[in-house]
Structures are given as structure tokens and as C-alpha cells.
Amino acid sequence: MSALDPRIARLGSSLAVEYDKRLMVLSGRANPALAGRIAEKLGVTLGGVTLRTFSNGEVYCRFEESIRGADVFIVQPTCGNPETGVTANDALMELLLMVDAAVGASAHRVIAVTPWYGYSRQDKKSMGREPISARLIAHMLETAGADRVLTMDLHAGQIQGFFSKPVDHMTAMFMLTQYFRDMQLDDLVVVSPDAGRVKLAKKFAEKVGAELAILNKERPAQQVAEIAYVIGDVKGKTAVILDDIIDTAGTLRAAAETVKAEGARC
């Protein structure tokens, strides 16, 4: 029995090292630079993970070290990244696979950190026979095994209600408003590109001490924006156009052209 004692001691020591882990930060390929900066701020080393896309388009992942007993934060906004060659759908699938792998590797808790929550614009049915895609993504993350989700500036705050697990909904509002306060611009007006952004734009305008203007926008087709007129005074003022999703930038371009035509200084 005594001959086995050293081996038992070594085993106990190695298990103690594994269970001593409390926090680990790992990154997918959507934004590894962001994950690296988060890990640096926390004073931890970014965890190693092997990620690649097979020739048939399937995504593969494997953690390079033990994550047993750790609180695992997986940083993966569900957006594309041309530098790493992943699309928005690749990023989503990669996040789901990393969550599943972490659960299977006996992580204590798995937190999906997805600053950009993909498919968030489809949070309701605008027409019949459409999916509610934001709800589907929530169900997928929970099914994969995420214990918690951390996201930022959701297209609609009500998306949190699609989850039965805790959601930390962060906002960049304070940093953005501080930026414009520091610029000390004269005659500032905050412009909402459509009625759906009025609440956000009003809050922004209050924080920077600016007036509010609203654009009357119509969408004759998906990803096509037409703006008819401006509600509010923008003439001779510096216009800050506030929106939460930029895809083709058609809305922002149309908004800028409209406020310029109405006499905005810049």
C-alpha cells in the first residue's frame, strides 16, 4: 500500500491544480483581438483553443488545456471576420460548438460573451411566415449548455425575454455620450434615423444636452431605405445620427443626405 502512496499523492496534487481554476477566457475567431484585450485587463492568459474550418465548410474546435471546474468565458460576437475567414454563420456555429465542448469538458459554468448578438434584428414577425430568429438563437445557446449570456446594446431589449437563463445586457451609451461631451460641439442635434430608434436617440440627446430630430424612414424592400422628411430643426447644426445596426449603411447614407439637404452644418 505504501508503494502506491506517492502516486496517489501526485494524482491528488494534479486534481487540486485543475480544481483551483476559477476563471478562464477563451476566444473564437470572430474577434480574437477583443478577447485578448479582455484577458489582459483581467490579468489572465487567453486560453488555447484549436479552431478550423474543414473543406466542406464544417467548423471544428478543441480546447488545448483542461477547463475542468473553471468558469469559462467564451468571447465570440456572432459576426463575420474577413481576417480569419469566418462568416456570421460560422461564428454562430463556432460559439455553439465551443459552449458544447466546454460543457462536455466539465467546466463549472459556461458564459457566452457575444457583444454583437446575431440575428437580433429579427426579434418579431414583420410579415407572415417569417421566423423569429433572435428567439431561435437564444434557444440554441441554451440547448448547447450556456449558463449565462453577456451581450451589448441589443436591437431590442425585449430579446432578453427569449432566455430562461440570466442575460447581462451591457451598453456603450455612457462611453459614447462622454466622447461627444468631450468634443464640446456647438449646436448639436441627435438624429434618430427612424421611429424605432427614438427612445435610444432621446436618451442619448439628454445625456449630451442636445436637441432631438427624427427622420421619417420607409423600407420599400429589405436593405433599401428611403427617407421622406425630417421632424425637428437641424438647420445650421451639427447632426449626430444614431443607429444600432450598420449592414449596407444605406440608412445612414440616406439620413446624412437628408439632414444635409435640410441645412445641417455637418
In the block, residue with C-alpha cell 423600407: 219
Which of 217, 235, 237, 260 is the catalytic position? Answer: 217
Between vectors from CA 41 to CA 40 and to CA 46, what angle results, nearest 5°? 35
Instruction: Indicate the SS3 state at residue 102.
Output: helix
What lies within 8 Å, CB to CB, of 75 at 6+ separation is 25, 26, 27, 28, 31, 34, 35, 38, 113
CB-CB contact of 145 with 110 (8 Å): yes
Q: Is 199 a catalytic residue?
A: no
> Which residues on neighbouring strands pair with residue 240, listed in sequence order?
190
Q: Residue 47 is placed in which grid cell?
A: 486560453
- Residue 63, CB-side half-sphere exposure with 13 Å CA sphere: 26
- For the chain, strand residue ranges (E) read 23-27, 49-53, 59-63, 71-75, 109-113, 148-152, 167-170, 188-192, 211-221, 224-231, 238-241
The catalytic site residues sit at 217
